[in-house]
Each structure stands twice: as structure tokens, then as C-alpha cells.
Amino acid sequence: MISVFEAKKLVLECTERLKPESIRLYNATGNILAEDIFSDMDVPSFNQAAMDGYGFNFDDLEENHSFSVIGEIPAGVFPMIKLSPGTAIRIFTGAVVPDGCDTVVIQENVSVNGEHIFVNDPKIERGMNIRTRGSQTKRGSLALQTGSKITPGAAGFLSGLGLDKVRVFGSPKVCIITTGKELILPGQFLKYGKVYECNSYSMNAALCELNIKPQKIINVDDNAIEITNAIESNLSDCDVMIISGGISVGDFDLVHASLTKCGVQPIFHRVKQKPGKPIYFGKYGSKMVFGLPGNPSALLICYYQYILPALRKMMGQTEISTEGYLPLSEPYSKKNGLTYFLKGKISDSKVMPLNAQDSNQMNSFAISDCIIELDEDKTEFYRGEIVTVHYLNATGSPFTVGSRR
């Protein structure tokens, strides 16, 4: 067996960033930019009204607060009007500011008398309520740099530059295979001795947080031929294969032999950790294969520790870790020689190990917001001791308290 540190290092060393691809911006949320984007235009591309109101030349205001209104300009219309001294224009948010106008007063701060207005705003200043051309983004300027994540805000920003496609690092093609004679799908009648298959559901949900839709989800029996056929027929079509169950050393743990038969080269098998000790990692060319324990809690912990960082690296993300440090809310004892991963809950800037830590128990995972990592070579952890935590939200957390001791 190898240590958790060694296993994580090997996984990332074997992880290759995917080739960039051009995709529609509409579908790019969560992806990482593979090139710098420079603006081809000024934004806004014209002097633009920022509020509904009346536009005029500020110099005229110093002589007379009364203006004659000569028309109106709604958004989206090119104005064929030039303001002359003493005149104003009714203007709406987003509209083009006409020549001769350098200030807009909001409609609440004027008195209207027929076709005349009187400005009642003692705080009005030249240029107020006008977005000048290029005030957000200058033509030729760097809009967004390589490595930036396409967030909802970034998608809105780039679409405002007229972009409908972006070049990003691709999303991995993932295949999920679950094994087990005892498994039946949710929604079916639960026969005595059977359990509902949940591993593909947790894996699918975890991948969805990265905007990855699995290529295939396959359920097979504890049968060497079925397992081998499922692996062999899908290896060439995916970047990452995740197999749950059948990876330990029992009579029905057939995955390791099937992977060997299919030509997968093992990198490691079994790690000094609890839960998830039987984890397997191998390579088939550039493709990555993970054999995870069938116990659902152990499987999900292994995903967060090994697969999630690999997927983030493949997708071009630079921040691939979700680690932080927090004090324990209560003491904890463990055996020596294994790294423990505990489902935890953060409260009042402290982390608490939850009940139901067994590798099959998902009720605690359903309410946890982090995984606590306890060092391999320690047995006793005192209240207030700073420990490593892995945040379970999709983006990780910058929240860090204290330092390691």
C-alpha cells in the first residue's frame, strides 16, 4: 500500500490537460478559457443614457434651469437630433446620447410644464447619468485571460462583446460502471437481500457540479465476462472510466483481473486510508481508470480526493484543490497507520465530525459540507486542533483558519 500523499501525487502526475476546443458560449458555463480574449469593440459602443430622464448641455444649466423639450429618444434608435442651446431631449435608459448633450437628469428631478421642463436637482453635475463610449471596455483591451472560468457573469460579459463562441479546454468524457449482483435500480420493487444502486447517482451528481454529463452509465452483475465486456467496449470512447465495486480481494471482486485483461496498466492498488483502502488507479494510453470501493460513502470520498482534482486539471483549472484548515470542535481518536477521512460539518468557524462514519452510511454525507482529513501517523486529535478539511461545494472555499501544527 502507498500513502494518500503518494496516491494523490501519482494521479495528478498522470493527468493530462485536454486539448482546447471551440464551443458556443451558451454552452460554455463552467469551462476554462484556453486563450486570451481581446475586445473588438468599445463597450458601450456609443455614449449611452444610464437612466430615464432628460438630456441637455450642462453649460445651459448655468444660465437657465428651464429647457424646451424637442423630442424623445428610446433605446435602440439612432437619433437624428442635435441639441441647440436651451433645448433638452426626453431620453430613456440605454438610448444613444445625441450630439450637444453631455448630461442627463433623472425624470424624478424635473418639473414638466407642457413642452418645457425645469431642473430641480441641486446635485446635478456635468456628465451625470451618461455612460461614455468605452467606459467599461476599450477596443483592443484584454477582456478575459486564459485560465478564467466561464461563470454566469463571464458569459454575460463576453456575449456583450458580441462573442457567440469561445475556445476552452474540453470537458472529459466520463463512463461510469457499477458492479454488483445485489443492486437494483431506484423505482423498482426492492426484493429481500437486494439494495438500491446509488453509486451512479452520486457520481452523476458530482460530475454535474463540473458541468460534465457522463457518456454512459452501465450496471453489470458480478460476472467476469460482463465486467470485462463493459470495460473493453467503452475504454476507447472515454477519457475517464469510473468503476464502483468489485475492486477488493473477495471471491466476487473481479474488476482488477478484468482491467488487466483489457490492457489497463495499474499505477497503484490499495491506499493507506479509511474508508476507501481498496482504491485502484490505472492508465490505458492517455485514459484514466479508477476502481472505487462499492460502499457508497467510501466511493464518494475517493471521488473527492482523487478524481475531482484530476478532472479539474484536465479541464484547465489552476485551482484544483478545495483544501482549507479549521479547528476541531471536539476531540477524536483513530488507529495509527491510516489516513482517516471523516464526513464533517462546519459551524462557528470550527469543524465537527458527524455521526454515521461507516463506509456504507450516506445519511451523514447528505448533510455534510466538508471532509475532514486526519493524518496517518497520529492517533489522538484534541479539541481546537487545526486539521485539513476538503470543502464539498463545487468551487471549493477560500475559508482558511489557523495553520497546520
For the domain that residue 356 is a member of, what is the CATH number? 2.40.340.10
CA 186 to chain centre: 28
pLDDT at 401 over 50: no
Average pLDDT over residues 313-331: 93
The pLDDT value recorded for residue 30 is: 87
Residue type, 327: P
Give me the number of domains the chain comprises: 4
Dist CA 151 CA 61 (whole Å): 44
Q: What's the pLDDT tens digit per position in 86-122?
A: 999 999 999 999 999 999 999 999 999 999 999 999 9
Under DSSP, the state recorded for 98 is: P
Q: Are 181 and 241 in a shared domain?
A: yes
Residue 159 belongs to domain with CATH number = 3.90.105.10
User: Of the candidates 162, 128, 143, which has an alpha carbon nearest to the alpha carbon of residue 25?
Assistant: 162
The DSSP H or E segment spanning 87 is strand 87-91
In a domain, 400, yes or no: no
Burial pattern 375-403, b for ≥16 Cβ within 10 A else e, equals bbeeeebeeebbbbbbbbeeebbeeeeee
In a domain, 402, yes or no: no
pLDDT at 402 over 70: no
Do residues 54 and 104 make contact, with C-beta atoms less than 8 angstroms apart? yes
Range of the domain at 157: 20-43+135-169
Mark which of 314, 334, 356 sits at the end of a domain: 314
- The CA distances from residue 308 to 208, 286, 312, in Å, are 12, 17, 6
pLDDT at 80 over 50: yes
pTM of the model: 0.82
CA 401 to chain centre: 23
Q: What's the pLDDT tens digit per position in 9-47?
A: 999 999 999 999 999 999 998 899 999 999 999 999 999
DSSP, collapsed to helix, strand or coil, labels residue 242 as strand
In a domain, 103, yes or no: yes
Dist CA 292 CA 103 (whole Å): 65
Q: Are 148 and 10 in a shared domain?
A: no
In terms of DSSP bridges, do strands 183-184 and 195-196 run parallel, antiparallel, or are they unpaired? parallel
